[in-house]
Chain A
């Protein structure tokens, strides 16, 4: 069947297999491989994308369901060639180690910050509850989100190290 949808501001029309997951469609049909497949079963959040403003596990969705949808993926963060403010904060605060969880993590954080520009630690934790990180540890990720929302005193941090 034919679907038309918008990803990171660009419109795509494609013929798809009806059993194609949104995740496979994004990665394999469109070649946007920033979005990852971890578990394929809704547990890990590596496949998180923003669909019509809401984060969703693209592994549990069919591309066929998304005709007309407006979707955001990690590739949209640095379209200008420069990392977004949140990506820079992740970089600076060592919130990325292997990086496998990062695209999904950034999508969850982006949707949070859009609704709530100054989230508390608890609100950040809740927003990334469905995003598993197996290497960095969540402390740096939470610190990065605080920095990315101008909630950390950089001078104080320098004094600490």
Chain B
């Protein structure tokens, strides 16, 4: 049996923000539930209110404009990211990352905002979105703010989000449309598994950006490199930046070696 809580499913953003404002930390947002339900069941959290945001129409959908770039609604699921025509054509790294998350059942439920809000060091979508230099739009009763994803994570499973706030969408600037990319994710098994080490790289005519997962308390992004940066200099910066840990799934030496190997493989390929 799960602990008791009230389920609410507001159908407008305004109603949702009012609930968050009133209940604060007593309320927890439910998107795909693939992290939240595990935490509730495990007793890690005990919300009085579980607030389903999937009934709010304007949190859905993907769109692109030449001025703002790509906008992805908070409750867009992995399977929608894998199949969305705009994403596949213009930002295929996002579809690639989404296709690597969990199993079919999880991809049918897990949302992009849930992935970044969980702030797990191994989150697949977070890593790709960091490489794209994405921004996060955050709303509360008092207004809207935009935060760079690179400044969004504050520690293991913590973010800048306050209890009365909601992530409404993710935005990727148009400069990176059709950028070349490479991604690698190390897992223990071929089937569905969390990453032990992951690397996402995007490259345009002028810029090369590297994001890394499972090698620091949060997913991280290295400072931008020029497109023609030598491999050795990228590896040097990566080596100095990462802080992998030993845990039940892999040793820090193994994680580090695989991060370096993946960076090398991807850079040589791009």
Please tell me if A40 contacts chain B, counting CB pairs below 8 Å.
yes
A3 to chain B, nearest CB (A): 10
Q: Which of A112-161 contact B (CB under 8 A)?
A: 126-127, 129-131
Assess A57 versus B106: contact at CB under 8 Å? Given A41-B41, A129-B192.
yes
Nearest A residue to B37 by beta-carbon distance?
A60
Is the beta-carbon distance between A55 and B105 smaller than 8 angstroms?
Answer: yes
Is the beta-carbon distance between A21 and B2 smaller than 8 angstroms?
Answer: yes
Please tell me if A91 contacts chain B, counting CB pairs below 8 Å.
no
Please tell me if B180 contacts chain A, counting CB pairs below 8 Å.
no
The proximity string for B residues 72-108 relative to A, scoring 1 for CB distances below 8 Å and 0 otherwise, is 0000000100000000000000000000001111101
Secondary structure type dominating chain A contacts: mixed
The proximity string for B residues 1-13 relative to A, scoring 1 for CB distances below 8 Å and 0 otherwise, is 1111111010000
Is the beta-carbon distance between B4 and A45 smaller than 8 angstroms?
Answer: no
B19 to chain A, nearest CB (A): 15
Please tell me if A32 contacts chain B, counting CB pairs below 8 Å.
no
Give the docked Cα–Cα distance between A41 and B50 (Å): 18
Please tell me if A108 contacts chain B, counting CB pairs below 8 Å.
yes
Residues of A within 8 Å of B191, CB to CB, are 129-130
Q: Which of A30-57 contact B (CB under 8 A)?
A: 40-42, 45, 48, 54-57
Residues of A within 8 Å of B6, CB to CB, are 18
Is the beta-carbon distance between B105 and A62 smaller than 8 angstroms?
Answer: no
Is the beta-carbon distance between B4 and A127 smaller than 8 angstroms?
Answer: no
Please tell me if A98 contacts chain B, counting CB pairs below 8 Å.
no
Partner of B33, one of A20, A48, A60, A129: A60
Give the docked Cα–Cα distance between A54 and B104 (Å): 9
Assess A55 versus B4: contact at CB under 8 Å? Given A42-B34, A65-B54.
no
Give the docked Cα–Cα distance between A126 and B79 (Å): 13
Partner of A56, one of B3, B38, B54, B109: B109
